[in-house]
A = this chain, B = another copy of it.
Amino acid sequence: MSNSGLDAEKIESNQEERTANVHRIDSLNLLIFTTLLVIVVLTIWICKRRNFRYLHETCLALIYGSITGAILRHTSTSNTKPSILRLNDTSLPKNVIPNWVSFEDQNMSASYLYAFQGPYQKDTMHLEEYKAMFNSEIFFNIILPPIIFHAGYSMKRKNFFRNLGAILMFALIGTTIACISTGVMVYGSIRAFSGLRSYFSFTDSLYFGAIISATDPVTVLAIFHDLNVDVDLYAIIFGESVLNDAVCIVLAQSIEKYVASAILDRFDRGLMFKSLCNFFVVFIGSFAIGSGMGCLTALMTKFTYIRDFPLLETTLFVLMSYSTFLASEAAGLTGIVAVLFCGIFQAHYTFNNLSQESKQRTRELFELLNFLAENFIFIYIGITLFTFPNHQWDIRFIVIALIAIGLSRILCVVFLSFLLNLTRKNQISWRWQTMIIFSGLRGAFAFALAIRNVSTQARSLMYTTTSIIVILTVVFNGTLTAPVLKWLKIRVNVNEEVEAPSSNDRYRIMEDDRNRERRSSDEVVLLNNDNDDDSTLAIDLRRDISPNRKIEKKPASKTWLLKKWSHFDRIFMKPLLTHSYPPLTVTLPACLVPITRLLTTKEQRAFNRNENLFPTEMQSFDNHDNSTLTNNCRNSTPELIDMEFTCTNPLDHYSTVSNLKSNMHTDATSVNLRTDNNGDVSAHFTSSSSSSSSPSKPL
């Protein structure tokens, strides 16, 4: 064997050993996470069985993670001596840290490459292995998208859009105020401490303000959902915390750009204005990508008939949703906003085109992914609290930061609520304000923003402080949410029949079908609120809505923009993107028929043909074959009939006329369709079961 051959074999086995070692460590790391997740699942199960709802799963994950982290830190010693080549820095250019280091091996005439990992402290080298397996890239690209998509997908869209003003106010203005005020307060306070002052600049303070202002929806909303808290409060807190994240990342980027420009002496007065423009470009761009991809998926699922193969259909749906996130990020926009709106559009349009199997699959899949991702991230936060090799502890800074974020939150919420209450019919009371302030806990997103960059002492300090704040707020605020709700006397157990937050329905799969029907009936009500529109084929059948609620809701519920959108949605978007009736051939002017005919599917045309036959057909339902009818008897509530007609529902459209017939029959409901002078069609239902009967309102 030649000398060079021997060398090659040494290098080979060197690499083999390295690979095997890395694999062992990775497996062990993942095993720790999986085992902790199993323990979390079992603990949740015990809590559920014992009806102990105050300790939320994320809190559990955090606590278990911390305990494991502490054990790992104090037991792990590097049994495999890491082979480090230490270089003196003479050969390095000043103040530039290269991304790669390479060196050439003369024997092998090969070059080897080393990638930048980050700073480290010598005594924590053995912890490097625990850090290696996770980085912020995995969080942002893999863990985050399912969480946000699930939020958008399962959101109560009606409440979200009804409170859009307040949400945008809190998310855009509120977060910016919070960021600046936190930054200023922190900077002001640390002037007193010479140790911190030396390396923590004003831009650092602002940057810290940006990353720490991202509130987390997970824990509070899960508890809200369990307790059925007032849906408007729920919508505000949810909407704020989701959009919030996007605002924070844009703010942080703007501050970074500002710093970079300032260093390069290209600072100009217009930079702030530029940042502001950038801010809106990013938001609008992300919204455009998200909604565009949502519509594209709807079109694909409408016209391809891929639903014959549910596996392909589900895969396509998942992949399109994920591409939305990636496309937005790759374009330098914010994937969170994109995937949020993609989720909203998918739920509104695409979901209607899916087969029954795919609907269930996608819902369950995202629910599962969301659950795993959430708990994984909180376990990770807990573990890294102890195993991260480069912590920078400063108790004074932690106290300052806690006080600053608390004060900033109070300031924003009180100030903005005052402004909002000037125009809002449904006032934000002091109780709600207190709850909004209390819900401002920090979670995974702040953590991920902090861990992205720990290259300097100041950044390490931010990272350590953020970890502590996340843990404190999740454990403290998370655990106290239920008692505080009780103390504030905020309406809980809001009548589920009307207002159940049917989103986020974890552990409630059994109720899913009921919830779905309910949500859909809500939508129908929403749709029918704009009575000034013509050419409507909508059957209004509100039942169980208490009169006082109706009065309270109606005046505040509709803005001009929302009305216009609702109309546009009905005459153009729905017919274009789903199989709903009326099709575009009916809703758009006749001159466009050549185009609209192309965009109308045979399901829509079939509906069209049957339209005029309905009244006569319905007379002959009674002698329909009994055996097929009974299959549908479980779902046969008047809401379902409602949905079948207007097709604004997330139920399957392919259970068309015959399904409808059977529903009608089994509930012994007689339906009369009536055409008004202005072309509107209204229906009268007379149901034999008194509980579900309610006279329909002519439009």
Residues of A78-95 contacting chain B, CB below 8 A: 82-89, 91-92, 94-95
Contact between B110 and A319 (Cβ–Cβ < 8 Å)?
no
Q: Is A546 an interface residue (CB 8 A)?
A: no
Q: Is A128 an interface residue (CB 8 A)?
A: yes
**When the two chains form the complex, which single residue of B27, B121, B305, B367 contacts A111, counting CB atoms closer than 8 Å?**
B121
Contact between A119 and B115 (Cβ–Cβ < 8 Å)?
no
Q: Is A419 an interface residue (CB 8 A)?
A: no
Interface size class of A (residues with CB under 8 A): 35 or more
Please classify the interface of chain A as helix (H, G, I), strand (E, B), loop, or mixed, using the class held by over half of its residues: helix
Q: Enumerate chain B residues within 8 angstroms of A34, measured Cβ to Cβ.
A: 319, 322-323, 326
Q: Enumerate chain B residues within 8 angstroms of A17, measured Cβ to Cβ.
A: 260
**Contact (A97, B23) CB under 8 Å given A45-B306, A86-B103, A457-B8:** no
Binds B, one of A35-43, A277-285, A433-441: A35-43
Residues of A8-36 contacting chain B, CB below 8 A: 8-20, 22-24, 26-28, 30-31, 34-35
**When the two chains form the complex, which single residue of B4, B7, B15 contacts A198, counting CB atoms closer than 8 Å?**
B4
Contact between A367 and B311 (Cβ–Cβ < 8 Å)?
yes
Contact between B452 and A19 (Cβ–Cβ < 8 Å)?
yes
Q: Enumerate chain B residues within 8 angstroms of A198, measured Cβ to Cβ.
A: 2, 4-5
Q: Is A48 an interface residue (CB 8 A)?
A: yes
**Contact (A316, B41) CB under 8 Å given A19-B452, A120-B112:** yes
Contact between A113 and B119 (Cβ–Cβ < 8 Å)?
yes
Interface centre among A14, A82, A107 (most CB of B within 10 A): A14
Q: With the chains together, A313 CA to B4 CA distance in Å? A: 57
What residue of chain B has the Cβ atom nearest to residue A44's Cβ? B312
Q: Enumerate chain B residues within 8 angstroms of A314, measured Cβ to Cβ.
A: 364, 368
Q: Enumerate chain B residues within 8 angstroms of A119, measured Cβ to Cβ.
A: 110-113
**When the two chains form the complex, which single residue of B83, B320, B330 contacts A98, counting CB atoms closer than 8 Å?**
B83
Contact between B101 and A101 (Cβ–Cβ < 8 Å)?
yes
- In whole Å, how far is A20's beta carbon from the nearest beta carbon of chain B? 8
Q: Is A619 an interface residue (CB 8 A)?
A: no
In the A-B complex, list the 10 residue pairs whose CB atoms are closest, starting with the nearest.
Answer: A15-B455, A114-B114, A27-B329, A31-B326, A85-B98, A87-B103, A27-B330, A83-B98, A113-B117, A8-B456
Using a CB–CB cutoff of 8 Å, the interface residues on chain A facing chain B are: 1-2, 4-20, 22-24, 26-28, 30-31, 34-35, 37-38, 41-42, 44-45, 48-49, 82-89, 91-92, 94-108, 110-122, 128, 132, 136-137, 140-141, 198-199, 201, 203, 253, 256, 259-260, 263, 300, 304-306, 308-312, 314-316, 318-320, 322-323, 326-327, 329-330, 332, 335, 357, 360-361, 364-365, 367-368, 371-372, 452-453, 455-459, 506-507, 509, 627, 630-631, 633
